[in-house]
Structure 1
Amino acid sequence: MTEQEIRTLLNKLLKDVFRKVLRLQEKEVSRATGSHISRTEMHMLEAIGDSPKATLTGVAEELGITKATASVSASRLEKKKYIEKVKSAKDKRLNILKLTEKGEYCCAKHRQFHETMIERLLRDFKISEYPEVLASFQRLADFFAEFETNKK
């Protein structure tokens, strides 16, 4: 195989993997919860669930999205009853974003999707091969972190 053929194949594989993961994640979470949830909304729920005092600004920074995008998603999530906005006890101008029971269920289904994905990924490898798999993914993660940093 020529270097150009390898590059072409690698590009195709990367695009296919990313598309499939994103599509499957959205489909599985929507199926489990009974309503459509976009990727941005799902990742907002996850960020809110990970932070007991999540604010719109904090979530936007965490996800690398604008405050306006976060605000639109938060409004949709509130309308769908996945989150609630609670006034901060310390600063009444500030809203704390909290998951509702429905939001917590959705996050649990999202975590379950990721756990299943990892389980299925690893099942075809021997335990002795795990370090190589991990090293490969670490190199990929490092590449994207560097790529993102250099794009700013």
Structure 2
Amino acid sequence: MLNWFNKYAQNEKGSAAVEFGLVLPILLLLFSGFAEYGRAYFQVNAIEKGLRAATLYAARADSPLSATDALIAENILKTGTADGSGAFLVSGWGKPGAGHTITSTDFDVDGTPVPVIHIQVTVPFDPMSPGFATMVGLGGFTISLNHEQPHVGI
């Protein structure tokens, strides 16, 4: 019985495949984690681009913001198009808990009030695999951003 074991213990054929099989799950976890963090980074960038564009549009519209201009700003924020015909910039806009607020406040510059448009957004992160996202710490992650732009009119 011991001779049989010694015969296979000295044979190193296939040892690289066994080692690769042992390391593969760890490599897959690392790769999947990097992919989820990359997706989160992409979603933050896409939301931020839409947020800046919508705030700039609202700052160039008439003050106070009309309902039509507010709707166009919302469409730019969510879809990147003025008419809202495109798909959401990020899929998190379609999830419960996604929202935005558009406010205008006055900032005092040497006694002269300057209207400032402020848009704040909250969008839930939409992971590729929700179970894995929870495991790497991205479960229930909410992207919250805001942007201000002084009103410049047209």
TM-score (norm 2): 0.32
Bigger proportion of residues as strand: 2
Instruction: Name which one, 1 or 2, has greater alpha-carbon Rg.
Output: 2
Bigger proportion of residues as helix: 1
More relative contact order, 1 or 2 (CA 8 Å, 6+ apart): 2
